[in-house]
Structure 1
Amino acid sequence: MSHAHGLRQTLVRKPSNVSTAMSVQGCLHRLLQFLSFHIAKIFGCTQMSSGSLVVNTAGVELAYIDSGAPPHASSYTTIFAVHGMIYTNQTFQKVLNVAPSQGVRFVAIQRRPFPGSTPFTAEELNVILTGGSSEAERDAQMAARGHEMASFVDTFIQKFKLPPLSDDGKTGGVALLGWSEGGAFPIAAIASSDTLPAHVQARLSSYVRSLIVYESAPPVLGFPTPTQNWAPLNDTTMPKNLRLPAFGQWSTGYFDHGDITLSSAHNLDSLSWVLSSPERVPTFYNIPVDQLKTITTYGNDALTDVPFLHFFSYQLQAVYSKVFNDTNIAAKFPHMKKSCLCGDKTGAFAVAGLWAVQDDQKENGTDANVSFKLIHGANRFLIWDDPEKAFHAFMDLV
């Protein structure tokens, strides 16, 4: 602001008349707008803010970080992103810095029970950690997670008066993005939306333009875990308290796979399931320690994700099938494009997830309704290593 103030003092001179003063002030205003826009772009400055929204009558809150509306845009698209295992919504902070200068608003939601969002109740926790006593209990929990996400998006749309989808479909509206395990939650939001109030359904139907599943493993979508799979999470020779931290480090590696073009045969044996590439250091080791403390969590809030995948496989497959294969959902969300995205240097589990969806869609004859995209040279943490490239990959599917 001191540079802008100095610039103002330099440019503004005593006008000879009122019209001259107004002309100078108008030019100055436009110049300051230009400078503020490009300074933000160069230095990554945004209107980023944080907060939380109440999403149901029980008072459950979901925290978020928000890039803010892009400057000088009368209409813009908003992307709602949901984080995965271990890594919190703060992992998206670099993408938030990119979005406004590209005319997009980016909101990263914090899942329950991660810091800032409402912890699970004892009853909810029991069902998640043990599977509860029935499919009905698990169905109810899945629907609740979906309702929470859908209600968050609907409440945010209203509170911040987000621009609706434009008539030509080029701008406005909202995209839902789920990263890694977070991929299950936007899907659940769409699947459970038909049990929300009619006015909420109508608003979401008119706003949702895209659903992007990003780097999600097969179990996140209810598909079986490949027999080739290895990860520290599943290594019973490793002390239990070290499995999450080990996975958090290992999963940020770059992996050298065989041919994984989308048109190739899906040979799971061609993937590098264990060893990462020596050609590039895993992202984890390039993140400053003080930032690691804000973007990772290994406590009780992170311990619910593994049993959730284990006990809720039927529910995860059900919501996936409903959203990706049910013509009723397609009719209720006529503007919603569906897509799967991952890097070609990511962990084998993410490639296997994309392939599982592609195979399922081909089997159902609906593959033309889903877009599939591989990002060349990208690992699971493109959002940190190259946020601009990640942002543009998202926008290709929005």
Structure 2
Amino acid sequence: MTTTSGLFVFKDSGVPEGRDPNSYTTVVVVHGYVWHGAIFSKLFSLAQSRGVRIILLNRREYPGAKPYTPEERALLPPVLDTPPTDEAELRSGAEMLEMFMQQRARELYDTLQELVVERQIPPADKDAQAGGIILVGWSLGSAWMNALLSHVGSFPVGEVALKGYIRRVIWYDTICFLLGYPYPSHDPYNPLWDSSLTYEERGRVFTGWVTAYFSHGDTPETFERRKWLKTPPSTLATMSKDDLESTVHIPPGVPGGADWILLHDLHKYDVFRRLKEGALYLSDDPHKKSGSGGEPRAHVGDEWRDVEVRYVWCDHSVWEVPYAVYLLREELDRAKKDGGSVRRMTMSRLKGANHFAQWDHPAATLESFLTNTVNQDVDVSDYKA
């Protein structure tokens, strides 16, 4: 089903049988770069036993969803080899990108409204920590989470007040780059930015790299950049050709594709950072500003002040994930010392998992989304593969 906002409901496990239809939890997942909702399909065999409903959304430009209109694409500045230096050009580009992401936030907001009303999703019982919606953004999908949290206060309350339904928003294995953190000076490696490779080679090398398992040290200097483990094998190595073809949609991720442009532009215009700060800091915190003008955001709705934001990270993922954890903890410590007004932020480590834990370790992954025990490791070895 394509929603009125243009997103596509790739799959819906439905109301779990034998459960009170007024109290079950719904997990709504927004996918990342190139891999679409089907990469989360292994969660579905667990929905019934866990008594949850799972809904996978495909973003615009992905199978089943509407393509962007020419007017929407016009908000994406052309990708340049080097970041612009002119202040007016930087401001203009940032404003266009922020408008584009605000539109994406609004379509996600409207889609959630539509799902709640048409599929009769029960509200959250925050005292019992049950029911409602746990909203997950994987990898690049976390930018959609941050856009939503940044702008939700400017959206009018619709047919239902989503504040009563959203229990938790999850950044799932989000790399430092996508949270607007700068790369370290020491070996800032990612195959997508390797200028010694052609674009075709970058895609091939990146796919092998991002689906692999890495063993990391305890400090940024000892996070492994390139050499992945032979055991366990990479997710790619264990996928059949049919598995890969059914979970991947290449066009948005190639040069000229919308996600390819966003990866470059949201970084070069510093919008990833602004989205993260807009999501993390509440309206009465000095960090909570509109991205380009500096004035406080207008609020006409509700900014979901009490919604938990959880960072679920995989400790055998690419180095950019533990590095993001390292920098986020530093930022949260600074905010605490400064008396900042920050959302309730929790973390959960998927121990022994890589960037594709939802495929290799679906039971542990679902547990990391659902558990109400905060800041706790979930060890994949405790769950059946």
Q: Same fold (TM over 0.5)?
A: yes
**Pairwise mapping of residues 1-398 of structure 1 onto structure 2 (< 5 A)?**
51-55=1-5, 60-74=6-20, 75-128=23-76, 130=78, 133-166=92-125, 168-199=127-158, 203-227=161-185, 228-259=187-218, 267-300=219-252, 303-313=257-267, 314-327=270-283, 332-365=303-336, 369-396=344-371
Taking the aligned partners of 2:344 and 2:124, their CA distance within structure 1 comes to 20
Taking the aligned partners of 1:178 and 1:223, their CA distance within structure 2 comes to 18
Taking the aligned partners of 2:335 and 2:143, their CA distance within structure 1 comes to 20
Compared CA separation, residues 368 and 270, structure 1 to 2 (3 A)? farther
Q: Displacement of 1:268 after TM fit?
A: 1.3
Taking the aligned partners of 1:355 and 1:204, their CA distance within structure 2 comes to 32
SS in 1 for 2:131: coil
Q: How many residues align?
A: 336
SS in 2 for 1:130: coil
SS in 2 for 1:312: helix
Question: Is the CA contact (8 Å cut-off) linking 1:71 and 1:101 kept in structure 2?
Answer: no
| Identity across matched positions, percent | 24
Q: Which moved more, 1:221-230 or 1:289-298?
A: 221-230
Question: Is the CA contact (8 Å cut-off) linking 1:344 and 1:351 kept in structure 2?
Answer: yes
Question: Is the CA contact (8 Å cut-off) linking 2:282 and 2:343 kept in structure 1?
Answer: no
Letter in 1 for 2:208: Q
SS in 1 for 2:310: strand
Higher share in helix: 1
Taking the aligned partners of 2:105 and 2:75, their CA distance within structure 1 comes to 16
Letter in 1 for 2:264: H
Q: Which moved more, 1:121-130 or 1:327-336?
A: 327-336
Compared CA separation, residues 117 and 397, structure 1 to 2 (3 A)? farther
Taking the aligned partners of 1:122 and 1:245, their CA distance within structure 2 comes to 30
Compared CA separation, residues 301 and 282, structure 1 to 2 (3 A)? closer
Give me the TM-score of the superposition, normalised by structure 2. Answer: 0.81
Q: Displacement of 1:396 after TM fit?
A: 1.8
Letter in 1 for 2:240: P
Q: Displacement of 1:269 after TM fit?
A: 1.0
Unmatched 5+ residue regions in structure 1?
1-50, 260-266
SS in 2 for 1:197: coil
Letter in 2 for 1:321: E
Q: Displacement of 1:225 after TM fit?
A: 2.7
Q: Which moved more, 1:311-320 or 1:67-76?
A: 311-320
Question: Is the CA contact (8 Å cut-off) linking 2:31 and 2:57 kept in structure 1?
Answer: yes
Q: Displacement of 1:160 after TM fit?
A: 0.5
Question: Is the CA contact (8 Å cut-off) linking 1:174 and 1:207 kept in structure 2?
Answer: yes
Taking the aligned partners of 2:343 and 2:333, their CA distance within structure 1 comes to 8
SS in 2 for 1:52: coil
Question: Is the CA contact (8 Å cut-off) linking 1:70 and 1:100 kept in structure 2?
Answer: yes
Letter in 2 for 1:250: W
Q: In structure 2, what is the equivalent of residue 33 of structure 1?
A: none
Question: Is the CA contact (8 Å cut-off) linking 1:174 and 1:209 kept in structure 2?
Answer: yes
The superposition leaves residues 105-163 of structure 1 with CA deviations (integer Å, 9 ceiling, x where unpaired) of: 11111111112111122333343351695332222101001111111111101111101
Unmatched 5+ residue regions in structure 2?
80-88, 289-301, 374-385
Letter in 2 for 1:92: F
SS in 1 for 2:349: strand
Q: In structure 2, what is the equivalent of residue 29 of structure 1?
A: none
Letter in 1 for 2:54: F
Taking the aligned partners of 2:56 and 2:16, their CA distance within structure 1 comes to 16
Which one has the largest radius of gyration?
1
The superposition leaves residues 308-341 of structure 1 with CA deviations (integer Å, 9 ceiling, x where unpaired) of: 1332243322222122121559984244111111
Q: Which moved more, 1:203-212 or 1:296-305?
A: 296-305
Compared CA separation, residues 129 and 92, structure 1 to 2 (3 A)? farther
Taking the aligned partners of 1:300 and 1:147, their CA distance within structure 2 comes to 21
Letter in 1 for 2:351: H
Taking the aligned partners of 1:245 and 1:85, their CA distance within structure 2 comes to 14
Give me the TM-score of the superposition, normalised by structure 1. Answer: 0.78
Letter in 1 for 2:317: T
Question: Is the CA contact (8 Å cut-off) linking 2:309 and 2:343 kept in structure 1?
Answer: no
Taking the aligned partners of 2:4 and 2:158, their CA distance within structure 1 comes to 18
Taking the aligned partners of 1:373 and 1:167, their CA distance within structure 2 comes to 20
Question: Is the CA contact (8 Å cut-off) linking 2:138 and 2:174 kept in structure 1?
Answer: yes
The superposition leaves residues 83-115 of structure 1 with CA deviations (integer Å, 9 ceiling, x where unpaired) of: 111211100000122122201111111111112
